[in-house]
Structure 1
Amino acid sequence: MPEGFDNVAWIERTRQEGDVAAWLALIPYARRIGVSVETDPDDDGLRFRLEPHADNVGNVLLPALHGGVVAAFMETAATLDLMLAAREARLPRIVDLSIDYLRTARAVPTFARCSLLREGRRLANVQVKAWQERESVPVATARLHFVLGELGRSDA
């Protein structure tokens, strides 16, 4: 960020505009594994997308995505979705992640949708479902717990 850049104002502005892609652009690992976001054509929410890069493959014999890549994709989606869905602009920090790998995640485009289950004053719970061909056949589900920090403060 340039010197004198007001990150609090920028986060609040991009949040009001729903510009999750601007947030993704600042996350090097998300860019490396190929995470993007789009408006879900079947819903008014967001749908996250993971591209099937060769570097994301964990089992070359199948080929299948590495479980850590799937988990990072789901964590990124949950964090950004929470930043947008929260009642006010907050910076979530992950406390806990519980993931269920339900079937092999092949090296094809993978999608995720998030649901904010609970947002309190200091904590939030988000559920994520990841799928490939059909949303009704998820490859993984996750539940994440976050501490909600105030913008501009790192001690939250």
Structure 2
Amino acid sequence: MTDLLHRLPYARFLGLLTEADGDNLTVTMPFADRLIGNPVLPALHGGATAALLELTAVAQVAALYPRLRLPRPINVNVAYLRSGRPVDVHASARISRAGRRVAHVLAEAWQDDRAQPIAALTAHFLLAVGDLE
């Protein structure tokens, strides 16, 4: 899956790093000054956090359901739970339910303590892209 994220331009821009533990992926977004959205606090930009979560979910779905094409997002909902500090952010995703065409995915992003996420994602991804085109 490292290869998958390296092929996506925005994942490369964010500098995403992937670590696999069996079928579970943990994606890390190393801190960089360009990721600051609010310089007063300073806090990470919400768009970078959302992109980390979505790309983590895509990578997890692609790892468990390999296709010729990437899973397409149908809908994505991100809940921002606390401000992201200017440090590395980690994310992992799990597929809560998958059918032949659609997967429901939950993802969380955290910094120092996994039990205190800074953001959470709920999304549906289209799996059977080739059948519908």
Query: What are structure 2's unaligned runs of at least 5 residues?
Result: none
Give the conservation status (yes or no) of the 8 Å contact 1:93–1:149.
no
Q: Does 1:61 align with 2:40?
A: yes
Alignment TM-score, normalising by the size of structure 2: 0.91
**CA offset digits 1:97-141 (Å, max 9, x no partner):** 111100001110000111101110111110001000000000011
1:89 and 2:67 equivalent? yes
* Alignment check: 8 A CA contact 1:130 1:140 kept: yes
Q: Does 1:126 align with 2:111?
A: no
TM-score by length of 1: 0.78
Q: Give deviations 1:1-37, integer Å, cap 9, x for gaps.
A: xxxxxxxxxxxxxxxxxxx111111011111012110
Q: Which has the higher contact order (CA 8 A, sep 6+)?
A: 2
Please state how far the C-alpha of 1:154 moved relative to its aligned partner.
Answer: 8.8
Identity %: 35
Pick the aligned partner of 2:2 from 21, 29, 39: 21
SS of structure 1 residue aligned to 2:57: helix
The DSSP-based 3-state class of the residue aligned with 2:31 is coil
Match of residue 147 from structure 1 = 126
What amino acid sits opposite 2:25 in the alignment?
Answer: L
| CA distance in 1 between partners of 2:131 and 2:103 (Å) | 18
**Which residue of 2 is the match for residue 39 of structure 1?**
20
User: Counterpart of 1:83 in 2: which secondary structure?
Assistant: helix
Q: Residue in 1 aligned with 2:31?
A: 52
| Rounded Cα–Cα distance in structure 1 between residues aligned with 2:113 and 2:43 | 17
Deviation at 1:149, TM superposition (A): 3.0
Structure 2 distance, partners of 1:85, 1:116, is: 9
Secondary structure of 1:94's aligned partner? strand
> What do you get for the CA RMSD once the two structures are aligned?
1.8
SS class of match (2:7) = coil
Secondary structure, counterpart of 1:58 in structure 2: strand
Contact map agreement 2:24 2:60 (CA 8 A) in 1: no
Say if 1:85 and 1:116, in contact at 8 Å, map to a contact too: no
Runs of 4+ in 1 over 6 A off after TM superposition: none
CA distance in 1, matches of 2:12, 2:53: 14
Q: Return the alpha-carbon distance in structure 1 between the equivalents of residues 126 and 20 of structure 2.
A: 26
Measured at CA, do residues 154 and 23 of structure 1 come closer, stay the same or move farther in structure 2, by a change above 3 Å? farther
Runs of at least 5 residues in structure 1 that lack an aligned partner in the other structure: 1-19
Does 2:25 match 1:30?
A: no
The partner residue of 1:136 within 98, 115, 122 is 115
